[in-house]
Structure 1
């Protein structure tokens, strides 16, 4: 393949170097980001209003099209077309249309939140037709797309080398390094992005539970909670999600006295990527309980009418506030949050490790942590520790087995036990905090009580079992006369 950067610098044949299908906020912002770096671009959408809005930017490096053929004809060969459209059938529809206007050797990039199984199928189908396909996760939201996202491309390595100069220019930069890298084979990019989103669900749930503890348990007002999150975000918990949470607790609409947060309905929506993470983990027989419970709590939040009925039937009968614990209780809560956050990241990274074993993606976990350090929604100070752990030991199976991480985690155990036990006693729901602690206690348990489950399975279903000191598979006739009182 020709070098894209040379084509762009020379503006060979006055063609556009990069094409974008889908001119919503994300597509338009990313296209402007590309154009800002000197690359001539073309944008296409079947909405004339969005095309007009793009052309109204009056950017000499951007052309908007309502005609797909004219759009692809404007692109330099091999043509590079990125889609930022809703996941699912729409992606397949756009690909079908592109097959009528593209040639062998052209490149299609799916930058949406597609399910990795769909990406796997599309990769195989397009490879058979002679087109290059890249499934690329993009994180950072609207602002990230405009100023520098984190990107997780996977699939066709040859195609990645072609688009690499553009992606490295538009990505966020951490320590003068771009937050983009080739993730691995076939559907690897979208699998990594899916896990990223699962971790995102978990951390957002943990933050909401810490809010619940401070509000209901400690009786703190929004201003006090704002100060706690502000303090946390200046230390080891520093992260994008805590940064925006700090802002939320200080926000009032102009001319209004109430905090906007207090007027928002407590029903959380979801687009499905968290659920996909849990489903993939279950398919791989891998526990991700903090992510799983975060998904479940979003679902529970939507059952508003049922929750209202239940609140009337089962009123709180416990003394919920415990301000007498003292001002240092928020320090205990910070320890608990750190513990649970580490658990969420660890479960996500373990899922990536297992997927790599199963799907032969050729993932590098240190590289994934490295590009998550900037641009993406789950960027945080702790990702430096994750990067260091997997960089030092590329074969590390689980983050909790890293010595440095384990030392820090041990210092937070008292905090998580205190916070979870207090919440239970005072009727405050902390399912994600609790799941992180339970996961840890079983993960460090040499002998779990699941030997009983195996005995039960063999009793009622002849499913057999294995013994500790004897090789082989065994079955017993568990009849009551054989059991002495």
Structure 2
């Protein structure tokens, strides 16, 4: 009896769709689920397909061709460890375990070391694209040994999304590199979504109808801002509620959920001392949105601008749309610059030899942040592999320089009208700080030396030489 090419554990919707994707590429797939009835229903719902349903893990493992390729699609954290532990009695040297969930990359590093000691191979593979991407072709970010990637390459390339015939998958790097890059991808996704929401909030305050917003975002999707998120936003504004006939977007409670990858990314940026204002602002915005009861109470206490009616002060709607579009584009550049900076920093520290251009290339299709914009990022790193910051690539520098005045006006308009724009504003502050020849950190260093004798450098002395002022005024009376 022939054996299966691939096995998957965890038949929630993502797992089921990945199985159907793999099977559709000509592979035979074995499946296992802790709840047997879920597995049986899945097999029954897909008659005639090359699927092998297994009731026990031993039966599941024995059904696979060696080296066995077992993908786990369960909740991140403890459940992944439990599945691996339950597999160990049945696996043999050289077998491959793949974690396709949103695991914390440091957990992936730990699991890689754990399984390597047992003669097994482990891949932490970030999979982006949601349920539809899993079925039709996701973006896949696998980490682990190069030799293991070569074994998995035919399957991963066949099931991934394709852009211009190029698979949206590449070997990211050793150890936890794949899950780390997927984590930052999700942080960038947080930033993209928040920037779109801030543009929406400004337009709503200015009196735009949902019909107008649908047209604006649809038009943006025809140009440089073309992306999956811009496209679905245009469609969201068109959706009616079948029960009331009202626009569904206006009926949704303004409390955002999150699964943790955005927070992990921000925490990683703090640990690595990488500025992360755009994405940090987006995570904070989700947190504040969840404080809905407090916000409702505070709205009755705290005062805001007197001109909440949003006077455009001579701006036409067309002018405002242009300015917000430029602010969104510029902020998006900053968000990606910060995310790629974090990837580069950790990649260098870990010795992963990450290819930022290749990473941007596999994000062009399948994943949530897929966008035309990513072609330009790939080109920027192909032209200059040692690019220090994405903003310094000539294409992006030109956009920032041309759009910076509109960007400032949008942030100013928002502030004057009491509209929170943490990611627009944080992006602009980062841009201004990055281009500043001199920042007020000289005063900060003086303060640190005053109260803690932390020393400072001087502009009139050689770099790396430190000084301390002994005779700061004594304030202790």
TM-score range, shorter chain: over 0.9
Shift of 1:185: 1.0
Scaled by the length of structure 2, the TM-score of the pair is: 0.96
Q: Of the candidates 112, 121, 124, which is equivalent to residue 135 of structure 1?
A: 124
Shift of 1:459: 1.2
Q: Equivalents in 2 of 1:294, 1:71: separation in Å? A: 42
Per-residue Cα deviation, 1:368-389 (whole angstroms, up to 9, x for no partner): 0010011110111110110000
Q: Conserved in 2, the CA contact under 8 Å of 1:44 and 1:65?
A: yes
Per-residue Cα deviation, 1:70-120 (whole angstroms, up to 9, x for no partner): 011100011000011110011111111111110110000010000011011
Q: Conserved in 1, the CA contact under 8 Å of 2:305 and 2:416?
A: no
Q: Of the candidates 397, 420, 424, which is equivalent to residue 411 of structure 2?
A: 420
What stretches of structure 2 of length at least 5 have no aligned partner? none
1:358 maps onto 2:349 in alignment: yes
Matches within 5 A, 1:45-444: 45-56=33-44, 57-216=46-205, 218-254=206-242, 256-320=244-308, 321-323=310-312, 324-328=314-318, 329-444=320-435
What stretches of structure 1 of length at least 5 have no aligned partner? 1-12
RMSD of Structure 2 on Structure 1 (CA): 1.3
Partner of 1:4: none
Scaled by the length of structure 1, the TM-score of the pair is: 0.95
Q: Equivalents in 2 of 1:354, 1:18: separation in Å? A: 35
Q: Conserved in 2, the CA contact under 8 Å of 1:171 and 1:179?
A: yes
Q: Secondary structure at the match of 2:415?
A: helix
Q: Equivalents in 2 of 1:419, 1:24: separation in Å? A: 43
Shift of 1:261: 1.0
Q: Secondary structure at the match of 1:205?
A: helix
Q: Equivalents in 2 of 1:417, 1:430: separation in Å? A: 12
Q: Secondary structure at the match of 1:257?
A: coil
Shift of 1:245: 0.7
Q: Equivalents in 1 of 2:456, 2:41: separation in Å? A: 66
Q: Equivalents in 1 of 2:321, 2:474: separation in Å? A: 58
Per-residue Cα deviation, 1:146-177 (whole angstroms, up to 9, x for no partner): 00000000112111110100111110000101
Q: Conserved in 2, the CA contact under 8 Å of 1:353 and 1:397?
A: no
The 1:70/1:451 distance shift into structure 2, 3 A limit, reads same
Q: Equivalents in 2 of 1:404, 1:316: separation in Å? A: 39
Q: Equivalents in 1 of 2:182, 2:61: separation in Å? A: 28
Per-residue Cα deviation, 1:224-245 (whole angstroms, up to 9, x for no partner): 1111111111110000011111
Shift of 1:61: 0.8
Q: Secondary structure at the match of 1:63?
A: strand
Q: Equivalents in 1 of 2:161, 2:361: separation in Å? A: 12
Q: Equivalents in 1 of 2:153, 2:241: separation in Å? A: 42
Q: Equivalents in 2 of 1:165, 1:459: separation in Å? A: 62
Q: Conserved in 1, the CA contact under 8 Å of 2:9 and 2:33?
A: yes
Q: Secondary structure at the match of 1:134?
A: strand
